[in-house]
A and B are shown apart, each in its own frame.
Chain A
Amino acid sequence: MATYSTNEFRSGLKILLDGDPQTIVENEFVKPGKGQAFNRVRVRNLRTGRVLEKTFKSGESVEAADVMDTDMQYLYTDGEFWHFMLPDTFEQYAVGQTALGDSAQWLKEQDICTVTLWNGEPLTVTPPNFVELKIVQCDPGVRGDTAQGGTKPATLETGAVVKVPLFVEEGETVKVDTRSGEYVSRV
């Protein structure tokens, strides 16, 4: 069982806390000139996304979390599970709704996603930063309105709804930033 001492703490380190894998977001060393040293850390729970502050007596050890980011190709969903594949070994992983979270709305077959594994099991799925998706439903475009800043909702082929400029038409393909959920451009 691998462990980390507080003096190895740095942002990005994956540790096991309260039974969940967590990543260190921030680590602050606090010590009175002649007294006990502490590490104050902010950790993000990789399962729930919650950010918490924790204080350790310096010198304490924490169990390492066996967490690994892997690039996998999204294959298909059977309604209950979303299936991914490691492109080099063809090894397949089934991801449930909980682990997938909001990422489901951006998944297009063949796209390469980051699947985070914890002890070999899928923990979270991060879609590509940018995806290109077809609009399946939106109100008709308004001609000659390209300079105005107005937007309208558009439903994409994956079910996601994004705000697009008024001139964009149903059937067109648009580029979306999955981190913000915002429209970037027409393709």
Chain B
Amino acid sequence: MADWRPSATSARAHRARLNALLRAFMAERGVLEVETPVLARGAPLDPGVESWRALAPGGAAGYLQTSPEYPMKRLLASGEGDIYQLARVFRGEEQGGRHNPEFSLLEWYRRGFDDRRLADELLELVQTVAAAHPRWLRPQPEVRQVRYAELLGDAFGLNPLTCSEQDCADVAAQVGLSVAGNLDRDGWLDALVSLVLAPGFEPDRLTLVHDYPESQAVLARPSVEHPGYALRFELYWGDMELANGFHELTDPGVFLSRRERDIERRRRNGQAIPEADRFFALAMHAGLPDCAGVALGVDRLLMRLLGAARIDEVIDFPWGRA
């Protein structure tokens, strides 16, 4: 077995170049690089993200971060300005062609930005980076921008806020998709987007999906213009999800009620309920300034730039050989 060997030799120098370009992009805009703990006492309760637990020899327990969101928001709440971080994060047992449990996120926050303005900056970043190396692939200059409700409505005639599980199962069956296991409405919507719609996205085009249902808002603020939706966006390059961003929720009451809902969902699904991050809750109460934030998957961006089919091609020691 040659498992001791690295698996991303041809991508290694490209990654170094990409990291330098990302840092330069941020530096030019006066966004400050920060560092926050990888290991923390609390974890997010969002049922869609599972944390790794870490145990100290003396018995103390902590969690490896699934994103640097909480401590970065504590910096913002303490008065810091625009900030970014190139962070290693860890999620569940996510392993596959596009998943490695440990991966890299570029996460940044902009004071006074809303989701649309930050999404524009994200597009600028992707296009700027893609143009910086003659051998890297570039997405089409025109971006497809679509609201989540339109995406589901145009394709299937589904209203994401009111459709039933059965409605979703019916349209899925029409395109030959059946799923073993019980799904709630959001689970079905995830299935339709990830397994049916995204695979049909134009391969070299960027697609920005805006305004997710509030039930999938996580920490995005509710939309005033479109009740029931939240100011959250996702960026796809071809069929691959690259980034997720919010006009950040600042209302501590809404934060607490969503956290309660997440705990309830976890209980229903039989998922573990990790320790909540009390420092983050305190910072939310102290007051998060008006800002927008986004997290970009750096490994996946590199995959697209190089035309790599598997994440193993851009990570030297993926989990199987880490």
Are the CB atoms of B95 and A29 closer together than 8 Å? yes
| Chain A CB within 8 A of B241 CB | yes
**A residues near B178, Cβ cutoff 8 Å:** 54-55
Contact across chains for B177 and A30 when beta carbons are under 8 A apart: no
Q: Residue A144 at the B interface, CB < 8 A?
A: no
Known: A7-B93, A28-B97. A36 touches B190 (CB 8 A): yes
Known contacts A29-B94, A29-B96, A29-B97; decide if A34 and B216 are in contact (CB<8 Å): yes
Given contacts A55-B178, A57-B187, contact A34 B96 (CB under 8 A): no
Say yes or no: is A179 at the interface (Cβ < 8 Å to chain B): no
| CB interface residues, A 30-54, toward B, < 8 Å | 30-38, 40, 54
Contact B93 A36 (CB under 8 A): no
Asked if A59 is an interface residue, CB under 8 A from chain B, the answer is yes
* Stretch of B191-199, B248-256, B275-283 on the interface side: B191-199
Is there an interface contact between A36 and B191, defined as CB atoms closer than 8 Å? Answer: yes
Residues of B51-102 whose CB lies within 8 A of A:
92-97, 99
B244: interface (CB < 8 Å): yes
B residues less than 8 Å from A31 (CB atoms): 94, 99, 194
When C-beta atoms are compared, the residue in chain A nearest to B178 turns out to be A55
A32 touches B179 (CB 8 A): no
Q: Write out, one digit per residue, whether chain A residues 156-172 have a CB within 8 A of any chain B CB (1) or not (0).
A: 00000000000000000
B244 to chain A: which residues have CB within 8 Å? 33-34
CB-CB under 8 A from B163, the residues of chain A are none
**Count of A interface residues, CB-CB < 8 Å:** 20
B187 touches A36 (CB 8 A): yes
Tell me the nearest residue of chain B to A56, going by C-beta: B180
Give the chain A neighbours of B24 by CB distance below 8 A.
none
Q: Are B48 and A32 in contact (CB under 8 A)?
A: yes
Per-residue CB contact flags for chain A residues 20-32 toward chain B (1 = under 8 Å, else 0) read: 0000000011111
Q: Chain A residue with minimal CB distance to B244?
A: A33
How far is it, in angstroms, between the C-alpha of A33 and the C-alpha of B299 when the chains are bound?
Answer: 14
A39 to chain B, nearest CB (A): 9
User: In the complex, what residues of B have CB within 8 A of residue A38's CB?
Assistant: 179, 190-191, 194-195
Residue of A nearest to B217 (CB): A34
Q: Does A60 contact B (CB under 8 A)?
A: yes
**Taking each of B95, B180, B194, B218, which has the highest tally of chain A beta carbons within 10 Å of its own beta carbon?**
B180
Q: Mark A109-121, 1 if CB is under 8 A from B, else 0.
A: 0000000000000
> A59 — nearest CB in chain B belongs to which residue?
B181
Interface membership of B174, Cβ < 8 A:
no
Nearest B residue (CB) for A62 = B180
Looking at the assembled complex, report how far the CB atom of A151 sits from the nearest CB atom of chain B, in whole angstroms.
Answer: 39
| Residue in chain B with minimal CB distance to A30 | B194
User: Once bound together, how far apart are the Cα atoms of A99 and B292, in whole Å?
Assistant: 63
Are A34 and B48 in contact (CB-based, < 8 A)?
yes
Q: Please name the residue on chain B nearest to A27 by beta carbon.
A: B96
Beta-carbon contacts under 8 Å, B177-210 to A: 177-183, 186-187, 190-191, 193-195
Among A7, A29, A36, the most chain B Cβ lie within 10 Å of the Cβ of A36
B272 within 8 A of A: no
Q: Is B155 an interface residue (CB 8 A)?
A: no
Whether B241 lies near A33 (C-beta < 8 A) is yes
Q: Nearest chain B CB to A18's CB is how many angstroms away?
A: 11
Does B167 sit within 8 A of A, measured CB to CB?
A: no
- Closest Cβ neighbor of A29 among chain B residues: B96
Could you tell me the distance in whole angstroms from the C-beta of B26 to the nearest C-beta in chain A? 21
Is B290 part of the contact surface with A, judged by Cβ < 8 Å?
Answer: no
Residue B143 interfacial (CB < 8 Å): no
CB nearest neighbor in A for B179: A55
13 contacts between A and B (CB under 8 A): A29-B94, A30-B96, A32-B48, A33-B297, A34-B216, A36-B187, A36-B190, A36-B191, A37-B94, A38-B179, A40-B195, A56-B179, A57-B181
Which chain B residues have a beta carbon within 8 Å of chain A's beta carbons?
46, 48-49, 92-97, 99, 177-183, 186-187, 190-191, 193-195, 216, 218, 234, 241, 244, 297
3 cross-chain pairs, A with B, having the tightest CB-CB distances, nearest first: A57-B181, A29-B96, A35-B190
